Amino acid sequence: MCTRVMRSVPGEPIVVGRNMDYHCDTGTNLWVLPRGVDRTDGVGGSLAWTAKYGSLIASGYDLMSVDGLNEAGLAGHILWLTESDYGTYDAARPALSMAVWLQYFLDTCATVAEAVAWIEATDVQVVPLADPGTGRVPAVHLALDDATGDSAIVEYLDGKARVWHDRGYAVMTNSPPYGEQLELVKRFAGLGGADVLPGTTLAADRFARATYYGERLPPAASPVDAVAGMFSVIRNAAQPFRIPEDGKPEVSQTIWQTVTDLTNLRYVFASTTRPNVIWVDLGSADLAEGASARRLDLVSGGDFVGNVTTEFVDSAPMQFLTLAS
């Protein structure tokens, strides 16, 4: 599931919030990944690169990037989209495994425009991989945003990338595909229509509420105010804990939330099962070529609170899930 909301107002920090909604624990830790690391596409193809930018990511099972920010101010967010269709893997096309899809852009791009241009020039394919936690193959789409206030939504439909690129594309949830979501939201009062703002956890309803409240935040007097305001919006779109329903044995709930300050390179993380909010100031992290990868172990239940930039521990490089594995 999941919800992503971006706010870009002149004179204020550009912030983006996201809820991670899932039906089970994703084994999420935070990683600081330095520049200068060599990576491959994860599918045994010809695509290889060296990380131009260092990044901070939230991992899934320490095997894939699902959310993150790089030192140039580009951020990305993986969300669920049932309608995703990546097509049959074609070895003749450039391709990225789903596990490293987001990481490629954090490693190589400074802006949304740069990432979109690369997608359109290469016709890159995404190759889905089984979720290590459930054994099932996820269906996802990608939001990208940057410190200039730009935004793009990348979906794979009928085997091809469909890119929605505009600064106005501030909200993203799940089904239906993005073009249909933009039409659905117009039904509601304050957004073009007359229907009462909906209150369920359905993706289209969360899209409407996030759009409505995201557009109505008061001015932020400080970066802390900007982060707090965004948390208020994504909490309104969160999914509460609940027992499975008939026909929905794997109902999702919000398991963690992030707010990223793209202007000041601050990444704020909150687990819904722990009381403490933590943050990382990426500008103070060691991202130099040759530096060690560093990990903040959230899975083991460390009692972290506040600024955790110096709490990361040296680690072997993160090993992304591959088609072969």
Q: Has residue 250 got a pLDDT over 70?
A: no
Torsion of CA 244, 185, 5, 7, to 10 degrees: -160
Residue with tokens 């993150």: 68
Q: How far apart are CA 92 and CA 45, in angstroms?
A: 9
Orientation of helix 203-214 relative to helix 223-236, angle to 10°: 150
- Least confident stretch, 85-99, 175-189, 235-249, 304-318: 235-249
Region of residue 226 (phi > 0: left; psi between -120 and 50: alpha; otherwise: beta):
alpha
Q: How far apart are CA 263 and CA 225, in angstroms?
A: 14
Task: Tell the CATH topology of 3-315.
Answer: Penicillin V Acylase; Chain A (3.60.60)
Q: Has residue 302 got a pLDDT over 80?
A: no
pLDDT reported for residue 248: 65
Token reading at 255: 């398991």
For the segment 193-213, what is each residue's pLDDT rounded down to a tens digit?
889 999 999 999 999 999 999
Q: How far apart are CA 111 and CA 2, in angstroms?
A: 23
pLDDT reported for residue 20: 95
Rounded average pLDDT over 296-305: 88
Q: Has residue 138 got a pLDDT over 90?
A: no
96 touches 42 (CB < 8 A) = yes
For the segment 253-283, what is each residue's pLDDT rounded down to a tens digit?
999 999 999 999 999 999 998 889 999 999 9
Q: Has residue 1 got a pLDDT over 80?
A: no
pLDDT reported for residue 241: 87
pLDDT reported for residue 148: 97
Q: How far apart are CA 267 and CA 173, in angstroms?
A: 20
Residues annotated as part of the active site: 2
DSSP line for 257-321: EEEEETTTTEEEEEETTSS-EEEEEGGGS---TTPPEEEE-TTTT----EE-GGG-EEEPPP---
Average pLDDT, the chain: 94
For the segment 79-110, what is each residue's pLDDT rounded down to a tens digit?
999 999 999 999 899 999 999 999 999 999 99
Q: How far apart are CA 203 and CA 4, in angstroms?
A: 11
Rounded average pLDDT over 20-30: 91
Q: Has residue 69 got a pLDDT over 60?
A: yes
Q: Has residue 178 got a pLDDT over 90?
A: yes
**What percent of the chain clears pLDDT 90, i.e. is strictly above it?**
85
Domain ranges of the chain: 3-315
pLDDT reported for residue 247: 65
pLDDT reported for residue 168: 95
pLDDT band (50, 70, 90) for residue 324:
confident
Give the residues across from 232 on adjacent strands.
Answer: none
Closest C-alpha to 39, from 293, 304, 309: 293
pLDDT reported for residue 230: 98
